[in-house]
Chain A
Amino acid sequence: MKIRLQINGNTRELETTPTRTLLDVLRDAGYYGVKRGCEEGTCGSCVVLMDGEPHMACLIFAPAAVGKAITTIEDPDGDRPHAILRALADAGAVQCGYCIPGMALSAKALLDATPDPNEEEIRGAMEGHLCRCTGYVKQVEAIKRAAELMREEASHE
């Protein structure tokens, strides 16, 4: 079957079978920033935004994503969480990098809703992302820093 998905602001017509996941279909279409980690909604490597909210793409039948605005880390324009990525790199929060695309998207959803989060809110928003390389210390720092950067940018506009 063919489905039409709104991915990063573009409409893409993609081939799938009824019971493939959004994770499968996005990867087939070349969105490799969506990572396969556990396929049971525990690790967060496959997180994408749907209408701005973080969701595990491994738990969604692709046809159920029709009509939703899907954001992946590949989003080439304004929606890409630049400040978050820069802050993650500068903080040294990236090690193997496998968890980073999903984390950056959950962080974006958090900062869109809560521009000045405290540590508890940051850790809460990241609770669905497992990282085995770091102690989460630098990710939390980075998201705090990203919030500052984004607020600074907003105040300049």
Chain B
Amino acid sequence: MKTFTAPERLDEALTLLGEASPPTVLAGGTDLWPQWTATKTKPTHVLSLHRLEELRGITRAGDILRLGACVTHSELTRSPLVQAACPALAAAAATVGATQIQNRGTLGGNLANGSPAADLPPPLFTANAEVELHSRRGARRVPITRLYRGYRDLERERDELLVAVHIPALPSGALERFWKVGTRRAQAISKVVGACRLALDEKGTISHAALAFGSVGPVTMALDELASWLVGKEPTPEVGEKAAQLASDAVQPMDDIRSTADYRRHVVGRIVKAWIVELATLNR
């Protein structure tokens, strides 16, 4: 017998997830349905999150933005709080699928699906966000940079539910950017998707750098070595060119049905260069 359960209370959902054969967790379904259509399968037991109020809402406390896991892409795009605290995330959400998908798809679904091509993880990586996981055993927080252990393999026990995401707000003066190269201009899965958070000190040298890319490896990749290399340097064209080279070398893309490894390496480099060049203009 197939079942479809949509509890209104989080503890009910966690109880169901704690059972011996836990149900398939469903948020917006915009990633799951294409997979089910492609494989001509459907889940037996579905736990739909759409009635859980605890998973909704966008709030800010001090420098931390809290996003419920079931916040939709449309809500992310339109939210002044998100636009201020993590503009790259708002920009990323606006590129997911199409308007009709953004009305349905959710933040938590985009993260939990675990696709290396997902659009929302890069800006969360560069913002150093944390995800809040709940189970009957309790709650814990995991830095998003540690959420993905391998291809579609998440640091999430099967009885745990992704409930919220916490994002340190963009400091004033810092630059946050998002860039997606997709298969087309709408309804596109990324060929390369990236985000950065960069800041300059008063001397005009780079004081903070975080860069992350998706679709260029088995998981979203944070370019930490590049980020460390950048800190303390001036954002000159030469630094930009060197950074582009380091970025291209750091990613691990493949040839697949959307793109080629060579192209992806190239594009990652050019995006990084463009960001550094833009950062230099902030200095003037």
Q: Check B98–A44 contact: CB distance below 8 A.
A: yes
CB-nearest residue of chain A to B28: A59
B residues within 8 A CB of A58?
33
Q: Check B34–A124 contact: CB distance below 8 A.
A: no
Q: Which of A40, A41, A44 has the most CB of B within 10 A?
A: A41
Q: Check A40–B48 contact: CB distance below 8 A.
A: no
Q: Which of B46, B74, B101 has the most CB of A within 10 A?
A: B101
Q: Is the CB of B59 closer than 8 A to any CB of chain A? A: no
Q: Is the CB of B282 closer than 8 A to any CB of chain A? A: no
Q: B100 touches which one: A18, A40, A63, A128 (CB < 8 A)?
A: A128
A residues within 8 A CB of B98?
44, 127-128
Contact with B along A32-47 (1 / 0, CB 8 A): 0000001111101001
Contact with A along B43-60 (1 / 0, CB 8 A): 100101010000000000
A residues within 8 A CB of B28?
59
| CB of A111 to closest CB in B, whole Å | 14
Contact with B along A18-29 (1 / 0, CB 8 A): 110100000000
| CB of A49 to closest CB in B, whole Å | 10
A residues within 8 A CB of B26?
61, 64
Q: Check B3–A18 contact: CB distance below 8 A.
A: yes
Q: Check A41–B30 contact: CB distance below 8 A.
A: yes
Q: Check A53–B103 contact: CB distance below 8 A.
A: yes
Q: Check B186–A63 contact: CB distance below 8 A.
A: no
Q: Is the CB of A60 closer than 8 A to any CB of chain B? A: yes
Answer whether A41 and B97 are a contact pair too, CB < 8 Å, given A54-B103, A60-B29, A61-B46.
Answer: yes
- Please report the C-alpha to C-alpha distance between residue A127 and residue B29 in the assembled complex, in whole angstroms: 19
Q: Is the CB of B38 closer than 8 A to any CB of chain A? A: yes
Contact with A along B89-104 (1 / 0, CB 8 A): 0000000011111011
Q: Is the CB of B274 closer than 8 A to any CB of chain A? A: no
Answer whether A40 and B99 are a contact pair too, CB < 8 Å, given A19-B4, A19-B42, A64-B50.
Answer: no
Q: Check A44–B100 contact: CB distance below 8 A.
A: yes
CB-nearest residue of chain B to A63: B4
Q: Check A41–B101 contact: CB distance below 8 A.
A: yes
Q: Is the CB of B246 closer than 8 A to any CB of chain A? A: no
Q: Check B37–A56 contact: CB distance below 8 A.
A: no
| CB of A132 to closest CB in B, whole Å | 14
Answer whether A56 and B100 are a contact pair too, CB < 8 Å, given A39-B37, A40-B37.
Answer: yes
A residues within 8 A CB of B97?
41, 128
Q: Is the CB of B6 closer than 8 A to any CB of chain A? A: yes
- Please report the C-alpha to C-alpha distance between residue A143 and residue B3 in the assembled complex, in whole angstroms: 42
| CB of A106 to closest CB in B, whole Å | 7
Q: Check A18–B101 contact: CB distance below 8 A.
A: no
Q: Check A61–B101 contact: CB distance below 8 A.
A: no
| CB of A41 to closest CB in B, whole Å | 6
Known: A44-B98, A56-B104, A61-B29. 6 other contacts (CB 8 A): A18-B3, A38-B37, A39-B33, A42-B34, A59-B30, A106-B100
14 pairs of residues in contact across A and B, judged by CB atoms under 8 Å: A18-B4, A19-B46, A40-B33, A41-B101, A44-B100, A54-B100, A56-B100, A63-B6, A63-B48, A64-B4, A64-B26, A64-B29, A106-B99, A124-B99
Q: Which 7 A-B pairs have the closest CB atoms?
A: A128-B98, A127-B186, A18-B4, A128-B100, A40-B34, A127-B98, A59-B33
Q: B-contacting residues of A (Cβ < 8 Å)? A: 1, 17-19, 21, 38-42, 44, 47, 53-56, 58-61, 63-64, 106, 124-125, 127-130
